Amino acid sequence: MVTLDSSSAWQSARRMVSANRDMLTAIGGVFFLLPGLIGAVVVPTPALTGTMNQAAMTDAIMEFYTKAGPILVVLSLPMLVGYLTLLVMLLDRDRPTVGKAIGVGIRLLPSYLAAQILTSLALSVMWVVVVSALSAILPTLVAAFVSLVVMIYPLVRVVLVGPEMVTQRLRNPIRAIIGGLARTRGHTLRIMLYVGPAITLFLVVYVLAMIVAGVLATAVPQAEVQRMIGEAIGAVLFAVGYTYYTAIIASTYDQLGPVHGAGSSVSPSSPS
C-alpha cells in the first residue's frame, strides 16, 4: 500500500514551486492576486463598530454578505480556474502549455463547482448532525467548538477531489468525489499532519504581516488609503499562500494517485 511521506511530499512541493517559479508567479498574479485586488476596490466594507452588540454585529455581517455575496462569487471563479490550472501544470507529465492548462481549467470549472457544492452540502448536513448530537451532552459553545474539530476529518477526505478531477479529466463530479475519497482512504492522519502545519504557519505569517502592515499604514492620514494598503498586502500574501497550498495538494496527490499522461506516476517537477 502506498503511504504518504510528508517530508518527501514537502520536498516535492518545493521542487514544483522552484521548477515552475515564473509560470506560478504569472498564473498566481492573474488568477489569485488580481481578483483579490479587484475585491479590495469593489467589495463594500462591513459596517462594524466597537459599540455594536452581538445582534447588531450579526445584522451588519448578514447585510454585508447579502450585498457582497454575488461579487464574491464572481471573484472566486477565476481563483478556482487558477487552482485547476496550477494542478494541470504541476501534475500533468505531458507538460501542457499554460494556454492549454488554462483551457483545461476552464472546461473543468463547471464540474469542479458541482463537486464543491455537493461536498459542501454533505459537510453542512454532517456538521448539523454532529452539533445536534454534541449539544445534547455538552454546552452549546463547547459543542460547536468540538464539532469544528470533528469536521476536520471529512474536510481532509475531500482535499484531493480537485487533483483527481484534473489528472483523470473527469467531468462527472460524483466520480471525482469518489476518486478523491479513495485517494485519501487510510491516509487522513498523515495528510492532516502534512497540510495542517503548513496552513497554520501561513495563518501565523499572514496575521503578523497584516499587523505590521496596519501599523505602518497609520503613517498615511487617509483611512481609505490605509485600508487599500492593507488589502493589497493581504491579496499578495493570499496569492503566495494559495500557490503554495496548491503545490502541497499536488505533491500529496503525486504520492497517492496516478498522473495523467503516459501512465507514469512521476510528475514533471520531480522526474526520475
Stretch 124-141: mean pLDDT, rounded?
Answer: 91
Q: DSSP 3-state assignment of 37?
A: helix
What is the count of structural domains for the chain? Answer: 1
* Grid coordinates given for 147: 464539532
Structure-derived torsion over alpha carbons of residues 119, 122, 124, 126, reported in degrees to the nearest 10:
-130
| Domain-located, residue 263 | no
Rounded Cα distance between 142 and 145, Å, is: 5
Average pLDDT over the chain, rounded to an integer: 85
Quick count: other Cβ atoms within 10 Å of Cβ 82? 25
* Grid coordinates given for 189: 492522519
Cell 459596517 locates to: 47
Task: Tell the burial category of 126 from Cβ atoms under 10 Å away from its Cβ (0-12, 13-18, 19+).
Answer: middle
| Domain-located, residue 4 | no
Rounded Cα distance between 111 and 131, Å, is: 30
Cα atoms found within 13 Å of the Cα of residue 169, Cβ hemisphere only:
6
Residue 93: its pLDDT value, please?
81
* Grid coordinates given for 266: 512521476
Identify which has the larger pLDDT, 101 or 216: 101
100-105: long-range contacts at Cβ-Cβ below 8 A with a sequence spacing of 24 or more? 104/166, 104/169, 105/81
| Domain-located, residue 237 | yes
| Domain-located, residue 264 | no
Residue 77: its pLDDT value, please?
94
| Domain-located, residue 269 | no
Rounded Cα distance between 243 and 235, Å, is: 12
Residue 257: its pLDDT value, please?
66
* Grid coordinates given for 155: 474536510
Rounded Cα distance between 26 and 176, Å, is: 28
Residue 115: its pLDDT value, please?
96
Task: Tell the burial category of 90 from Cβ atoms under 10 Å away from its Cβ (0-12, 13-18, 19+).
Answer: buried
With a CB cutoff of 8 Å and minimum separation 6, the contacts of 195 are: 156, 159, 248, 249, 252
* Grid coordinates given for 145: 467548538
| Domain-located, residue 34 | yes
Q: Are 160 and 252 in contact (CB under 8 A)?
A: yes
- Its pTM stands at 0.85
Residue in 123, 122, 99, 119 with CA at minimum distance from that of residue 111 = 119
Give the pLDDT confidence of 196-239 residue by residue, as tens digits.
998 999 999 999 988 888 888 788 777 777 778 888 888 899 99
Domain residues for the domain of 168 are 27-256
pLDDT-derived band of residue 9, with 50, 70 and 90 as boundaries? Answer: confident
pLDDT at 184 over 50: yes
| Domain-located, residue 38 | yes
| Domain-located, residue 18 | no
